[in-house]
Amino acid sequence: MQTTELRQDSLLSLATILPPAFAGFFVAFGCWTLFAVIGVHVRTQLGLTDIQFGLLLALPILSGGVIAVPAGILAQRFGARSVMLGCLAGLIPIMALLSWVESLWSYFLVACGLGLAGGTFSSGLQFLSNRAPPRHRGLALSLFTVGMLGAGFNYYLVSVVHEAYSWRAAPMAYLVLLVVVTALYALLTEPDTRPTNYHGPNRKPGNIGLLYNADVLLLCLLFAVTGGGILALALWLPDFISASFDLPLNHGARLATGFIAPAALCQVLGGWLADRCGAVPVLRRALMASLIPGLLLSYPTMSLAVEGSRGLIHLQIALPLAVEIGLIGLLGVTLGIALGSLLRLLVELQPERTAFCAGLMLLSGCLAGFLLPLLFAMANHWIGIRSAAFMLLFGFSAVSLWALTLHSRRYIRRRLLKGEKPLSPWG
């Protein structure tokens, strides 16, 4: 009876703290990726070159990764709630500026300011890690990161606002949403107590020590492959699908949601499984499963000439559109589960420094999300095969799986040599 009451109390606590944090991250992520939608209008208005347009899209991602690290440090010092509230409030004047800027450098400045959304990621994870019941911590963190669907919300919001008014009204719509969400977050969440993970003058050495900590470096590598891979494919898939099957770009973008939606929603499944089965086993199996669709998608369209008794027989081997989209969706499912379990692993390994480590992970993910599309384009240019991007992602996933397995085995071997029993999470 008492156990049932404790479970009900923990679920009630989770239901209280999660909605305002999720809403804040959802709207912030929409602001963060807003240029992916309105950037086309800015490009037409200013006559941007490909390099200038690419820089406009990349600056929010890069600045978000950079801002996430100091935001994590500030969350440890002043409290995660205060930092997330500050990041949300800071996005309000950025949206106001975006509605009237005209010059290219002004857009670049605003793009850098949108990186404040990255601070909501690291501080939000710390906020939930401190308050969520330990039994449901993985589920809470994965539900929080489903807020990445805010990027998909842009397509609907901007199209509606553009048809009714103009694309310049989209930032004002987000400004209203930010004001409402920030007010609700301030009213519905309790103020921070003094952070228990702050240790005065010892804080800085502890954070610096994490920069060469093997566990943290492995977390960054895994997040670069999972989170960065999801971000890179979300940017690259619309053009890939359109070019591969000779479809309009809008049609390719809609089909690409068959990857984005499962990748975001299946993080919940990954966090839930990690709570019950352990983060490392779920993460390892999800990465292994991701190799299957990655390998199948790597094979390009091939023409085969077979010499028969009556002459040459020409065969063309290609995946139908439905099968291709199905495999891409399966890849999104596996990467989403891996990402959800990875967040649970982060909290298990660094419960007191979740925000700082999350900032480092987001920085690695943003760098991967920026560099991988460039590698995809270079591979396509040099090899001349569009599916070379999946070959690269397959290789990166295999390397990360090998690193995870090697690190786990080294930990277990080290414990056994000392005569100690392997402990969670690596054991």
How far apart are the C-alpha atoms of 294 and 232, rounded to whole Å?
14
- By residue range, what is the domain housing residue 67? 1-198
**pLDDT at residue 201, rounded to an integer:** 44
In a domain, 333, yes or no: no
SS (H, E, C) 142-181: HHHHHHHHHHHHHHHHHHHHHHHCCCCHHHHHHHHHHHHH
In a domain, 425, yes or no: no
Chunked into runs of 10 residues, the chain (427 residues) has average pLDDT values of: 48 74 93 82 83 81 89 88 95 92 91 93 88 80 86 76 82 93 92 58 57 88 92 81 78 80 91 90 95 91 72 75 93 95 89 84 88 79 81 93 91 74 62
DSSP-H helix ranges across 246-387: 249-277, 279-298, 321-349, 354-383
In a domain, 67, yes or no: yes
The DSSP result for 179-192, as a single string, is HHHHHHHHHHSPPP
In a domain, 74, yes or no: yes
* CATH code (residue 112): 1.20.1250.20
CB atoms inside a 10 Å sphere around CB 54: 15
How far apart are the C-alpha atoms of 141 and 74, rounded to whole Å?
20
User: How many domains is the chain partitioned into structurally?
Assistant: 1
**pLDDT at residue 23, rounded to an integer:** 94
Token pair of 297 as six digits: 């998608």
**pLDDT at residue 371, rounded to an integer:** 83
In a domain, 263, yes or no: no
**pLDDT at residue 217, rounded to an integer:** 92
In a domain, 184, yes or no: yes
What is the pTM for the complete model shown? 0.82
In a domain, 376, yes or no: no
In a domain, 290, yes or no: no
The structure tokens 């993460």 sit at: 283
Token pair of 219 as six digits: 């977390």
**pLDDT at residue 206, rounded to an integer:** 61
**pLDDT at residue 81, rounded to an integer:** 92
Token pair of 372 as six digits: 């991988």
